[in-house]
Structure 1
Amino acid sequence: MRKPLYKVTFLNAGRVYELYAKHVAASSLWGFTEVSDLVFDARDGVVVDPTEERLRDEFGGTRVLHLPMQSIVRVEEVEKKGQSAIRDAATGETVVTPFPLPAKPR
């Protein structure tokens, strides 16, 4: 039997985060949801996803993430991992840009 994989979408500081985890449950802290065993893409190959890198930098050392229940938008049990994301909550646009934008000529 395969272990479940969850896509967790939550609000944090005006942004919508989409992370993947192997464990989601009610937390021992009242009003929180426990998210652990976060899943990140392997660092193989030349192409690097800047969003995945940013999420790994922010949450890579996290054993258990305790999210307030009111910040969780949804939890989905999925077949396989998709692309993680950080989006602006108001516009839905991706916050992390893949490449530096060139400066405007003066």
Structure 2
Amino acid sequence: MAKQIFKVIFINDGQVFELYAKQVYQSDLYGFIEVEEFLFGERSQLLVDPAEEKLKSEFAGVRRSYIPMTSIIRIDEVDKEGAVKMHACQGNKVTQLPLPPLKPGSDQ
């Protein structure tokens, strides 16, 4: 049976993150997606990508990440993992959708 690999693209603090993970699913926490088992490719020691190293250190020791649905740009199931990426949002190309406000005491 082939392993599932997901490419998750989301916004975090004005940056667009492209990460790979083995598990992605809807969280029990309302409005969040859970991402587990991040994959960071083993690259040659001759060429070091600073963005990849920054993401590796930021997610070091993270077992599970809860990402707000409004921050998710796209989730793809892919055949193999690629290089993780991080870049700044440019202009109005990426916009987060607002969530409707929750009413206090509602069961939503």
Q: If the TM-score is normalised by the length of the shorter chain, which range does it land in?
A: 0.7 to 0.9
In the other structure, the counterpart of 2:2 is 2
| Alignment of structure 1 residues 1-106 onto 2, 5 Å | 1-42=1-42, 44-90=44-90
Q: Which runs of 5+ in 1 are unaligned?
A: 93-106
Moved over 4 A (4+): none
Structure 2 Cα separation of the partners of residues 44 and 87 of structure 1: 22
- Show CA shifts across 1:3-61 (max 9, x none): 10000000011110000000000112111000000000225432222121111000121
Structure 2 Cα separation of the partners of residues 44 and 85 of structure 1: 17
Contact preservation (8 Å) 1:41, 1:52: no
Structure 2 Cα separation of the partners of residues 7 and 90 of structure 1: 21
Q: Which runs of 5+ in 2 are unaligned?
A: 94-108
Scaled by the length of structure 1, what TM-score is found?
Answer: 0.80
Contact preservation (8 Å) 2:8, 2:74: yes
Structural RMSD (CA): 1.5
Structure 2 Cα separation of the partners of residues 51 and 84 of structure 1: 8
One-letter code aligned to 1:34:
E
Q: Compute the displacement of 1:84 (Å).
A: 1.0
